[in-house]
Amino acid sequence: MANVVVVGTQWGDEGKGKIVDWLSERADVIARFQGGHNAGHTLVVGGEVYKLHALPSGVVRGGKLSVIGNGVVLDPWHLLKEIEGIRAQGVEITPETLMIAENTPLILPFHGELDRAREGQSTVAKIGTTGRGIGPAYEDKVGRRAIRVADLADAATLELRVDRALVHHNALRAGLGLEPIDREAVIAQLREIADEILQYAAPVWKVLTERRRAGERILFEGAQGALLDIDFGTYPFVTSSNVIAGQAATGTGIGPGAIDFVLGIVKAYTTRVGEGPFPTELHDDDGQRLGERGHEFGTTTGRKRRCGWFDACLVRQTCATSGVSGIALTKLDVLDGFETLKICTGYELDGVRMDYLPTAADQQARCTPVYEEMPGWQESTAGARSWADLPAQAIKYIRRIEELIQCPVAMVSTSPEREDTILVTDPFSD
């Protein structure tokens, strides 16, 4: 059976939650493979709204196994609080329906403190993090001083891991003017939640391998977007993990040969939260209209998103780095009523035409978009479920996007409701 990876192919907020939920009904296992609770998914199922941050989107679907992979950094206190909230909405979560990789690194309270202290420094350019400790937790993972889920099972190992982390963090805190970390308090906090977390712990790589061999369908769920990838994003205004599709393999322990289809989620225009370059950003009435009609506020932070025209040059780039098989085009209905639409087809840099966004930050800042204009449409696309329901100009817009990004459209989403979807290619088909 086919296994599908879902990735955002812009700066996040592309509408992955709805698409993952739509696909998860047909999957047997849904696995998160990177990121932390800085990313948010909003799902609307049967009129009920679920806001998820750490939990995979599949938890709202009964009879599915939801997996948090080792590529994720996990705040255990936030997870338990989120589980409690979802249970209050009538969703059952048990060790039979939720699994956490034993080698998943934990986000501890001092990670968030360090994150916020750095962002609060007036002498350092802000990255625009959510201040939830994701970056510092990934630093500890790479620095080989992380506390992982499996460490909670043994008191001596846990103390050794905490001591190793504090040697590093207390030195950093001294330089930032923060008080030393209370070692005993950290250990006590971890011991208090150890049993609750450990009940979900398992060798995820082994379970996924067995499930795949049994013919079950696995859906790999990414967070954020490829333009926030630590290697291929608009560095340094990026997240602290790899977001592109290849991370699905390393972030869960399943080989890349297990991936059959990569679905890139693409908004019909472009948005970004926080700092960093944004070539097609609009500061006029059109940008305001996109934000208002698209309800562009972050699920996690509530921050207003920056809005701009569709950037085909960037999406072509991210489709290439993630090996995207087909895209799901979302929020098409937000463009209803525009007289004219613009698509960025490339950039000009110091008088030279570019067909990709350069890596150097100073060059990115000097890139100006080259636009192609298309007539808009006045009819409504909201709720469309077939090509016949779409205006001719909307179809032309979609076809032109396909040409420019060199990737076919597999799905079109026309509202937050999961049924309002036009299926072109089934990602799960063999």
Q: How far apart are the first and last CA of the chain?
A: 6
248: Cα separation from own chain's centroid: 12
Q: Which residues are annotated as a binding site for substrate?
A: 299-305
Please tell me whether residues 387 and 287 are part of one structural domain.
Answer: yes
Please tell me whether residues 181 and 243 are part of one structural domain.
Answer: no
- Is 141 a known active-site residue? yes
Report the CATH number that the domain containing residue 44 is assigned in CATH: 3.40.440.10
Domain of 273? 266-423
- Give per-residue burial for 230-269: e unless 16+ CB within 10 Å, then b: bebbbbebbbbbbbbbbbbbbbbbbeeebbbbbbbbbbbb
User: Residue 133 carries which side chain, given as an amino acid letter?
Assistant: G
Please tell me whether residues 214 and 81 are part of one structural domain.
Answer: yes
Task: For residues 283 and 67, give the distance between their C-alpha atoms in angstroms, rounded to a whole number.
Answer: 41
413 contact partners, CB below 8 Å, separation of at least 6:
15, 18, 19, 328, 329, 330, 331, 332, 420, 421, 422
Q: Is residue 372 part of a domain?
A: yes
Task: For residues 267 and 271, give the distance between their C-alpha atoms in angstroms, rounded to a whole number.
Answer: 8
Q: Which residues are annotated as a binding site?
A: 12-18, 38-42, 130, 144, 224, 239, 299-305, 331-333, 413-415
- Give per-residue burial for 41-58: e unless 16+ CB within 10 Å, then b: bbbebeeeebebbbbbbb
Report the CATH number that the domain containing residue 370 is assigned in CATH: 3.90.170.10
Of 198, 222, 241, which residue constitutes the final position of a domain? 198
219: left (phi over 0), alpha (psi -120 to 50) or beta: beta
Q: Is residue 203 part of a domain?
A: no
pLDDT at res. 1: 59
260 contact partners, CB below 8 Å, separation of at least 6:
2, 3, 4
Structure tokens at 250: 């390393």
**Quick check: helix, strand or coil at residue 407?**
coil
Report the CATH number that the domain containing residue 169 is assigned in CATH: 1.10.300.10
Please tell me whether residues 403 and 332 are part of one structural domain.
Answer: yes
Q: Which residues are annotated as a binding site for IMP?
A: 13-16, 38-41, 130, 144, 224, 239, 303
Q: Which of 13, 28, 75, 229 is catalytic?
A: 13
Neighbours of 339 (CB within 10 A): 8
Please tell me whether residues 291 and 407 are part of one structural domain.
Answer: yes
Structure tokens at 205: 């790589």
pLDDT at res. 41: 72
Q: Which of 64, 141, 169, 342 is catalytic?
A: 141
Q: Is residue 428 part of a domain?
A: no
Pairing outcome for strands 48-52 and 65-68: unpaired
Q: Which residues are annotated as a binding site for GTP?
A: 12-18, 40-42, 305, 331-333, 413-415
Please tell me whether residues 98 and 77 are part of one structural domain.
Answer: yes
Asked if residues 245 and 259 have their Cβ atoms less than 8 Å apart, the reply is yes
pLDDT at res. 158: 98
- Is 13 a known active-site residue? yes
366: Cα separation from own chain's centroid: 27
pLDDT at res. 172: 94
- Is 64 a known active-site residue? no
pLDDT at res. 261: 96
Please tell me whether residues 312 and 332 are part of one structural domain.
Answer: yes
Please tell me whether residues 304 and 339 are part of one structural domain.
Answer: yes
Please tell me whether residues 419 and 321 are part of one structural domain.
Answer: yes
Q: Is residue 429 part of a domain?
A: no
Task: For residues 191 and 196, give the distance between their C-alpha atoms in angstroms, rounded to a whole number.
Answer: 10
Number of domains composing the chain: 3
Please tell me whether residues 84 and 227 are part of one structural domain.
Answer: yes
Q: Which residues are annotated as a binding site for Mg(2+)?
A: 13, 40
Q: Which of 21, 28, 37, 41 is catalytic?
A: 41
Please tell me whether residues 126 and 42 are part of one structural domain.
Answer: no
Please tell me whether residues 292 and 405 are part of one structural domain.
Answer: yes
For the chain, 430 residues long, the average pLDDT of each consecutive 10-residue run is 92 87 90 86 75 87 92 97 93 94 97 88 66 92 97 98 97 94 98 98 97 95 93 93 96 94 97 92 95 80 86 98 97 96 97 95 94 97 95 97 97 88 88
